[in-house]
Structure 1
């Protein structure tokens, strides 16, 4: 309400009508140039008329598809391996003929000679990609079936990508081709903080991801997207259906993305009963307790068992396996009335009410909050696995660090499952535009923390200045690709992006307009591949506001914000005649101006000036209808903005 109310007040008293000449007010300290910010901006035309000017997929939008059938085995030994066969049905919905296909071989990151290993600093980093002697895929065979003809292909492997050159070009407009790959790889101990294996008291926990050759995306903007996997930059995947089976030692529990198809075959009758009970309970139900782990009555100890899962319309899958798992679950209640299940699997070292004993509660509540607020979770289950990965997300499966507790665990769980909305539902290109998933997700995490358990872990302090410290010295803007950004600067993908969305919601548009536009973006791009320009256009169009003055500096530059109160003078030297207040925009970025004005008679008022006051120059004088002397003025009293100099935000009368 305050946005409309205050603008109406300002208009009524004529505050926008009186301004002193800008040139007379400009000083050498002002870096601001209104032409840089408010000059014409036209975002690139993307696609082949497949994306609209309003930031939506057009009627001619197309997207290719990859459906997977995978059979894999977990083979414990000195170098524990995954051996698999993946059958991919690839549908070319584009209008283009394809002479070759590209696949991602993400495990090749862990080869000693990988590009990721080559660019890892000698001091190491969070991802610590140095490779190991058995790292990477061994591709045993590749066969192609197209229009009834099956033939073997010798693939061309370059780092973490594999090209399959076709004997006959693949037609477009819905044609299908089958690619079968037989492969194996050794599981790294520390898989770039995204997967791996870790030993606990009662056995290894395996967090398995990037575990099958998968299709690169061929899209309407760039054709084949073949940027290599090098560590920080994550993934860009096609959507499709997954049918996969994991054969593992019989004493292990295997949890993963999607719906378990053969629970009766892999669970004891007691476990099956508890599993079904968990599906119908809002309270966490223990399926395998700490006391049952490792007991002969709980799991068979000889041979192997095959766990069969399915997941529809997903862009990826992951799984975890261990003989050390405590396993629990609870029902998830979706807005439509549909029910699902949230689960956690963790070793005894992680257990306890301060730790992973509440993991399922955190997961369930996050899924319900995001489903209600943004888009209903489209799958039936999700599982959180405790292990070596600090935090990593996959559709329906997340990995969190084993020793996290209380707010640390809540934050990790709600963040990683939040990624199921960005980029698992809204399928952006993480390898190029990391802010589109990490930043959007960090933004929605704030609101989940406010809602969960009456704000048990909510941070209600204003974070703008704290976040500012994390990116104010960065030389790289948000549009920088992950593999090119400073290794100490990628945190801004998370925090600077989220702060920018908070500023739009709280200062520029207001909650209703922002939320409506953001929901429109999610609705139109669910299970599709948006670009940054689609997001910018979608928000502009649905909010009814040309926000290009914000998108340009916040995402494409490292410009700073510095608003200041320059002077206060009274009309005819009498405060009862009104005050002429001059404010300045000293740095290159601009924002609306909120000012808390306190008069000597005790009257206080917060004024909201739109960003348009900076459209012609960096100095603005307006008339305020004071009735007594102004005691103080504070710019941005709610601390919503990352102003680089807070001292000049405050005016105090002598």
Structure 2
């Protein structure tokens, strides 16, 4: 550090000089408003981010009948759709989504699939390349108007246009029917959002079924029909409506679905109905179908079928699962005074993990998300374990996370399973209720959901190992080459590095907003306001951005611009520090400081060698050459010095005198924005006595110069070191330039031996030394009656 001595009158330079230096700016102004990037507010969507007085949305109600063929792994169905036009527009045709057509041999996804043939390939990789051999996709049998008249239709890959015989005017409704069939994909060979898993040990199938029916596309005030093709990444945007779905399955199957079972007397045994009633007052999951009962069902094949009928109100989609392998447990909670039946369906292969955790995680997720967003209003919430790694639908989701065959599991498998259940159950809020356009903006459901997932994980267990949410966890992605990144505000199908971009980066940004920029009180109020405003509606990015600013009372355009619209990264550098003290004018004090500096000044190399090589100087040999200055002490205080000081002090006001004698320390920090992403400047000062002080400077410090600023700190005692972002709040990608004096930032490298055999998980290791105890440490049935 450098100590400079300034005249008291020169203190003005400390404030004036840096301000002049910050008036220049290069490149795009990072604090420019987003007005030109956001749509113009109107009567449908206001400038505050709230729905306008004329906001409208369409409605689609369904009556669906499907049959599951367990011999051919196929589905045959028919549906009646009642579409209500609540827009101010006249519609001459309707667009219907045919999402199963992504598995058609001639799908755009297959045609545009890229890849390489490796010298060594797994059979799974080969199956993926040969997925076009699977005869997938909807086989549309008919499209008819209510009454039986055939309607003309045109299929454009994953979209179908249905031409209406007469224009559908505002406030009018039309009912038409569609009949279809399709083959279900083997999820282990063709990994999609639904499918089946075959268990060769007992020759049974487990089905997780979604996108199984032609679904209405969204028509709204933003882009009219959302009929962008389904290519795989961009998921679904759907209108709300009421559903009644009848599912015919083998008689010994257990069927779980979106909504409430309408005919329990026809499909459940008296024992199962009794257990369900017990679950309503239970404080831990109650088994409706035990593992023993499921294992017995695996070995038999009942003749005939059963039809399970479910109904759901005001939902945007419907999904279901079916298998004779299912264990089924349930537990009821109350949310805002309303009962919510939390349930899980899973095969024995999921135990002991699933019986111990799944339904408890469902209940915890509903409670925590409701606290941070809106109260969960649906009557059920379901987690299903099967071949799909993680996928969400209203009231029901598919989740992975299977223990080893001996019932043991690693910590990574346990927390991975809990996290995926939290994430997928959390999707009930984003986007099933707060119904954003997933086909256009994946981050609006995945990113917001991942953020609340992080909050929920941290409330599950102290020190929960969350993968996403903490700023330090996004650093590796932010460091990657810009050619491998896209801004968050990129269409779902064009995003590079989908997981980091759509999930982790927006979730991390919201965490930084909450913890560092707004603070929890302002953020939580604004985030909850957004959820309340747009529950059961169709929000767009501008609605989120504007609501967060409106409800927090904070201009955040600079944050949205940097974090969401660019690929800039966070890297603030503390380039240097200058240390100033005020010249007190007191000769005794100042001379003592000069004496200390002179005595502590290091000798140069030449001076050190001269002491050794030059035994005597000429003046040493001839003392007569000495004069006044050979004995003069420039640091000595004379009576004249004291008199001049007293005369100087008399001219000063009492306030000015106190400034001279206060002994304050002035530190000028030279700050540079290396990464380009505007962030608050968080400074930790460590004093000479070991105590520390944190200063959080808002990001607006960069508003007049986005690249380089200086900041002066005034302290009553000496500072020995400065550090930027010591608690890793801003995802800074280079910690080596965050300290002054500089500190080495440790890195690690790993040594490994090729073809090492994977070690057993710790639970497995312990179980081998404790024979006779269940490997998973719990009941083999995964729960209690």
TM-score (normalizing by structure 1)? 0.91
Aligned to 1:3: none
Q: Spell out, residue by residue over 1:440-459, the C-alpha distance to the aligned partner (whole angstroms, 9 max, x if none).
A: 0110011111112x437354
Q: Identify the structure with the greater helix proportion.
A: 2
Taking structure 1 as reference, are residues 18 and 330 closer, same or farther at Cα in structure 2, changes over 3 Å only? same
Aligned pairs (5 A) from 1:259-278: 259-278=260-279
How many residue pairs get matched? 628
Contact 1:250–1:299 (8 Å) recurs in 2: no
CA deviation after TM superposition for structure 1 residue 437, in Å: 0.6
Taking structure 1 as reference, are residues 241 and 19 closer, same or farther at Cα in structure 2, changes over 3 Å only? farther
Contact 1:599–1:626 (8 Å) recurs in 2: no
The worse-fitting range, judged by mean Cα deviation, of 315-324 and 573-582 is 573-582
CA deviation after TM superposition for structure 1 residue 566, in Å: 2.3
Q: Spell out, residue by residue over 1:329-349, the C-alpha distance to the aligned partner (whole angstroms, 9 max, x if none).
A: 111221x21111111111111
Equivalent residue for 1:478, pick from 478, 488, 505 = 488
Structure with higher Rg: it is 2
Aligned pairs (5 A) from 1:310-349: 310-334=311-335, 336-349=336-349
Aligned to 1:444: 452
Aligned to 2:215: 214
Kindly indicate whether residue 674 of structure 2 is the aligned counterpart of residue 586 of structure 1.
yes
CA deviation after TM superposition for structure 1 residue 158, in Å: 0.9
Q: Identify the structure with the greater strand proportion.
A: 1
Aligned to 1:467: 474
Aligned to 2:500: 491
The worse-fitting range, judged by mean Cα deviation, of 98-107 and 561-570 is 561-570
Aligned to 1:97: 90
Equivalent residue for 2:421, pick from 413, 426, 433 = 413
CA distance in 1, matches of 2:326, 2:13: 66
Contact 1:46–1:221 (8 Å) recurs in 2: no
Aligned to 1:166: 164
CA deviation after TM superposition for structure 1 residue 580, in Å: 2.2
Contact 1:18–1:621 (8 Å) recurs in 2: no
Kindly indicate whether residue 611 of structure 2 is the aligned counterpart of residue 614 of structure 1.
no
Consecutive unaligned residues of structure 1, counting only runs of 5 or more, are 1-13
Aligned to 1:56: 50
Kindly indicate whether residue 134 of structure 2 is the aligned counterpart of residue 175 of structure 1.
no
Aligned to 2:394: 395
CA distance in 2, matches of 1:33, 1:550: 18
Equivalent residue for 1:38, pick from 31, 34, 38 = 31
CA deviation after TM superposition for structure 1 residue 305, in Å: 0.4
Kindly indicate whether residue 502 of structure 2 is the aligned counterpart of residue 503 of structure 1.
no
Aligned to 1:7: none
Equivalent residue for 1:189, pick from 179, 186, 190 = 186
The worse-fitting range, judged by mean Cα deviation, of 17-26 and 600-609 is 17-26
| Structure 1 SS opposite 2:163 | strand
RMSD: 2.6
The worse-fitting range, judged by mean Cα deviation, of 48-57 and 469-478 is 469-478
Q: Spell out, residue by residue over 1:473-521, the C-alpha distance to the aligned partner (whole angstroms, 9 max, x if none).
A: 23311111121122x3443210000110011111111001011111111
Aligned pairs (5 A) from 1:622-633: 622-633=711-722
Taking structure 1 as reference, are residues 534 and 302 closer, same or farther at Cα in structure 2, changes over 3 Å only? same
Aligned pairs (5 A) from 1:81-92: 81-92=74-85
CA deviation after TM superposition for structure 1 residue 586, in Å: 2.5
CA distance in 2, matches of 1:298, 1:285: 24
Consecutive unaligned residues of structure 2, counting only runs of 5 or more, are 1-10, 117-124, 404-412, 584-662, 744-785
Taking structure 1 as reference, are residues 604 and 460 closer, same or farther at Cα in structure 2, changes over 3 Å only? farther
Aligned to 1:383: 382
Contact 1:193–1:391 (8 Å) recurs in 2: no
CA distance in 1, matches of 2:387, 2:163: 38
Contact 1:252–1:299 (8 Å) recurs in 2: no
Q: Spell out, residue by residue over 1:106-156, the C-alpha distance to the aligned partner (whole angstroms, 9 max, x if none).
A: 0111011101112222356999893444201111110124xxx76211310
Aligned to 2:570: 561
Aligned to 2:625: none
| Structure 2 SS opposite 1:578 | strand
CA deviation after TM superposition for structure 1 residue 464, in Å: 2.1
Taking structure 1 as reference, are residues 46 and 423 closer, same or farther at Cα in structure 2, changes over 3 Å only? farther
Taking structure 1 as reference, are residues 596 and 461 closer, same or farther at Cα in structure 2, changes over 3 Å only? farther
CA distance in 1, matches of 2:210, 2:467: 35
Taking structure 1 as reference, are residues 304 and 460 closer, same or farther at Cα in structure 2, changes over 3 Å only? closer
